[in-house]
């Protein structure tokens, strides 16, 4: 797919009742500067008018971005896609594989901690409640089936956006390349991540016996909209979460390599430590948003909160700061260890592709 074809594709796929004329023109202008940049506008506009508009806009952006990624990677292999900064986009298959393997590894290893965190945040369990440890692997298979492709999509968007922005920004502003890439990737992957999270958390709470039953039950009771319960709250948490974690990791890695390693890449142990620091920092900063997201997703259409702001004020009024930071201990432990596993796995899988 050429740049001009990508531009035409963006106009065909994205205006599904949610893109204004101004936004479509802006997206077209971004594509002219490189197909990777179009995702920022392409994914944003769906948030105005309901689930269908949200999903349609983001899904179109994700498909366009992966097509652009494949084209850019193919061009870079032949030398045609190398930009002045030399940041060549990795092949689409590599990005999909890296994301799927890293995401599935973290979920499998740390699912019990995630279950405990979800139950504490729901407000139905106390910290020492013995029920916290019952069925801590509930819903794991279904979660892996959803999170592996979702994380694959994340990396299929993150890598080309990052490379494109790094080539267009001075080195001193590399943080903005990582920030833009992480937020764009979070938007694109939300099409799968939100339903996966809804099904996972309701299964963790014992509302359903498995992912299949959960999907059928939610669709029967709430329709497709039920699978996207808490979409706005999820994105409010996920955008800063991915932005903070990936910016922290990329900047820690960049500076550690330059200042300590003399330009060499960190080894596996050093990568694990950098990933843990990035994960722990992100976990603490985004816990209140995660609590609000959890409450919306568990309640679905029966939520007592009228908005994210209302949820924040109500939880603070009824439960204080303790309520907003419910589950912060398991969350920090889970995400710091998860950061170690995720980023180490990511780098190791990339090395395997480089050997081929």
Helices (H) and strands (E) in the chain, counts: 13, 0
How much is the pLDDT for 91?
A: 87
Question: Is the per-residue pLDDT at 266 higher than 90?
Answer: yes
Residue 162 token pair? 């990052």
Burial zone of 311 (CB within 10 Å; 0-12 exposed, 13-18 middle, 19+ buried): buried
Q: What is the rounded CA–CA span in Å between residue 47 and residue 306?
A: 17
- Mean pLDDT calculated for residue range 90-119: 91
How much is the pLDDT for 199?
A: 94
Residue 68 token pair? 């652009």
> What is the Cα Rg of the chain in Å?
20
How much is the pLDDT for 126?
A: 77
Confidence band of 15 (pLDDT split at 50, 70, 90): very low
Higher pLDDT, 89 or 197: 197
Domain range annotation of the chain:
1-85, 90-355
Q: What is the rounded CA–CA span in Å between residue 302 and residue 19?
A: 30
How much is the pLDDT for 58?
A: 47
Q: What is the rounded CA–CA span in Å between residue 239 and residue 119?
A: 23
Residue 104 token pair? 């599935």
The DSSP line for 270-307 is: HHHHHHHHHHHHHHHHHHHHHHHHHHHHHHGGG-S-SS
> 122: number of CA atoms within 13 Å, CB side?
21
How much is the pLDDT for 121?
A: 82
Mean pLDDT (the chain, rounded): 78
Q: Collapsing DSSP states into helix, strand and coil, what is residue 186?
A: helix
**Poorest-confidence range of 17-26, 67-76, 232-241, 244-253?**
17-26
Q: What is the rounded CA–CA span in Å between residue 179 and residue 250?
A: 10
With a threshold of 0.75, does the pTM exceed it? no
User: Which CATH code, of 3.40.50.300, 3.90.1150.10, 1.50.40.10, 3.40.605.10, is assigned to 90-355?
Assistant: 1.50.40.10
| Residue of 63, 59, 227 lying closest to 142 (CA atoms) | 227
- Kindly state the DSSP code that residue 49 receives in the 8-state scheme: S
Burial zone of 323 (CB within 10 Å; 0-12 exposed, 13-18 middle, 19+ buried): middle
How much is the pLDDT for 4?
A: 39
pLDDT, tens digit, 9 for 90 and up, residues 317-349: 999 999 999 889 888 998 999 999 999 999 999
**Poorest-confidence range of 43-57, 241-255, 295-309?**
43-57
**Poorest-confidence range of 68-82, 155-169, 196-210?**
68-82
- Mean pLDDT calculated for residue range 133-160: 92
- Mean pLDDT calculated for residue range 121-132: 81
pLDDT, tens digit, 9 for 90 and up, residues 37-78: 333 333 333 333 444 444 444 444 444 555 555 455 455 444
**Poorest-confidence range of 8-22, 79-93, 324-338?**
8-22
Q: What is the rounded CA–CA span in Å between residue 160 and residue 69?
A: 6
- Mean pLDDT calculated for residue range 161-183: 90
Q: Collapsing DSSP states into helix, strand and coil, what is residue 80?
A: coil
How much is the pLDDT for 87?
A: 66
């Amino acid at each position: 797919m050429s740049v001009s074809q990508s531009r035409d594709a963006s106009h065909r796929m994205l205006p599904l009742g949610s893109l204004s004329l101004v936004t479509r023109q802006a997206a077209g202008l971004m594509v002219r500067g490189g197909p990777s940049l179009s995702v920022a506008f392409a994914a944003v506009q769906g948030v105005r008018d309901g689930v269908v508009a949200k999903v349609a806009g983001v899904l179109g952006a994700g498909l366009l971005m992966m097509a652009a990624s494949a084209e850019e990677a193919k061009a870079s292999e032949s030398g045609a896609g190398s930009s002045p900064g030399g940041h060549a986009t990795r092949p689409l298959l590599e990005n999909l594989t890296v994301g799927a393997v890293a995401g599935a590894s973290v979920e499998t290893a740390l699912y019990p901690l995630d279950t405990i965190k979800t139950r504490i945040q729901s407000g139905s369990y106390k910290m020492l409640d013995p029920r916290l440890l019952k069925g801590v692997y509930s819903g794991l298979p279904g979660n892996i089936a959803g999170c592996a492709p979702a994380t694959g999509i994340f990396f299929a968007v993150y890598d080309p956006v990052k490379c494109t922005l790094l080539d267009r920004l001075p080195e001193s502003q590399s943080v903005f390349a990582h920030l833009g890439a992480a937020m764009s990737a979070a938007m694109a992957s939300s099409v799968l991540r939100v339903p996966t999270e809804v099904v996972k958390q309701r299964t963790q709470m014992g509302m359903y016996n498995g992912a299949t039953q959960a999907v059928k039950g939610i669709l029967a009771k709430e329709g497709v909209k039920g699978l996207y319960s808490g979409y706005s709250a999820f994105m409010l948490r996920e955008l800063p979460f991915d932005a903070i974690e990936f910016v922290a990791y990329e900047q820690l890695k960049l500076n550690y390599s330059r200042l300590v390693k003399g330009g060499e890449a960190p080894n596996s142990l050093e990568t694990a430590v950098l990933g843990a620091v990035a994960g722990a920092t992100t976990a603490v900063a985004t816990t209140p948003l995660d609590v609000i997201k959890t409450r919306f997703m568990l309640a679905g259409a029966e939520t007592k909160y009228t908005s994210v702001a209302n949820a924040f004020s109500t939880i603070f009024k009824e439960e204080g700061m303790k309520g907003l930071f419910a589950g912060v201990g398991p969350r920090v432990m889970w995400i710091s260890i998860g950061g170690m596993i995720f980023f180490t796995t990511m780098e190791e899988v990339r090395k395997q592709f480089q050997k081929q």
